[in-house]
Structure 1
Amino acid sequence: MEKLLARLAQQLDTIDEASLMSLWSKYATTTSRFEPTKRWEEATLIFSLIQAKRWKNQLFNFHWSRQSQGQEGLDPQLPNLAPDFALETPQEPAPAQRCRVLEFRPLKQDSESGENDEN
């Protein structure tokens, strides 16, 4: 799985951002009009890839600029471009979360047939 993702990342990185951005509007529009089809799913993934390339370049440029200015770390006055990630270690299992089972009951009995919907 990781090899496949690395290959996809390498291929995406070879594409020029300007070429991808020429397709942004088309895929943003398709993605905004949900339909439960394979076509919509693929368009949404394409849109996500375009956004990923754009975000990667913005993040790269931000860090490159900070590094070339000799600044270390992030300035607290600047917006955080990268989200804070909490990495899970494989040795620590995720805490068990309790769940509730919701009971579905009919709102009212069908007055015409005299039967209720619990069957």
Structure 2
Amino acid sequence: MESLLLKLARQLDSLDEASLASLWTKYAEITSRFEPTKRWEEACLVLSFITAKRMKNRLFNHYWAQQQTPYAPDQEPQPQDMFPQGFTLEEPKERKPCRVIPFKLPENKEK
């Protein structure tokens, strides 16, 4: 399993962030409207991949800059926000109590 994850990571890292960013809105929109389907699950994973690539690049740039220009610990720059501006998740819907329906097994009628 680990080798599969590492292969996925290498493939994801070979993709250009700018190309992935153009797909971010599409998959964020699909993911923001939950539906219990394989399509939604796959869109969620695609969005996670795009976000992971973006986060990796920002962390890389943050640590690279830190390495090039040492700062005092209290003046250290912070990584930029990880999500595009204006992104919000849907508010959870109000939960309604469920109703339990009793189930009776049919009686075994022997002759």
Long gaps (5+) in structure 2: 80-98, 105-111
Distance, in Å, in 1 between the alignment partners of 2:29 and 2:103 is: 43
Shift of 1:70: 3.2
Distance, in Å, in 1 between the alignment partners of 2:13 and 2:46 is: 14
User: Deviation string for 1:12-61 (max 9, x for gaps)?
Assistant: 00000000000000000000000000000000000000000000000000
User: Deviation string for 1:38-90 (max 9, x for gaps)?
Assistant: 00000000000000000000000000000011348xx3455765xxxxxxxxx
When the two chains are superposed, the root-mean-square deviation of aligned CA atoms in Å is 2.5
The question of whether the paired residues in 1 share the 8 Å contact of 2:27 and 2:44 is answered with yes
Alignment-mate amino acid for residue 22 of structure 1: S
Q: Report how many aligned residue pairs link the two structures.
A: 83
Q: TM-score by structure 1 length?
A: 0.62
User: Deviation string for 1:82-105 (max 9, x for gaps)?
Assistant: xxxxxxxxxxxxxxxxxxxxxxxx
| Greater relative contact order structure (CA < 8 Å, 6+ sep) | 2
Distance, in Å, in 2 between the alignment partners of 1:15 and 1:51 is: 13
Q: Percent identity?
A: 59
- State the 4+ residue runs in structure 1 displaced beyond 4 angstroms: 76-81
- Matching of residues 32-111 of structure 1 within 5 Å: 32-71=32-71, 75-76=73-74
Q: TM-score by structure 2 length?
A: 0.66
Alignment-mate amino acid for residue 7 of structure 2: R
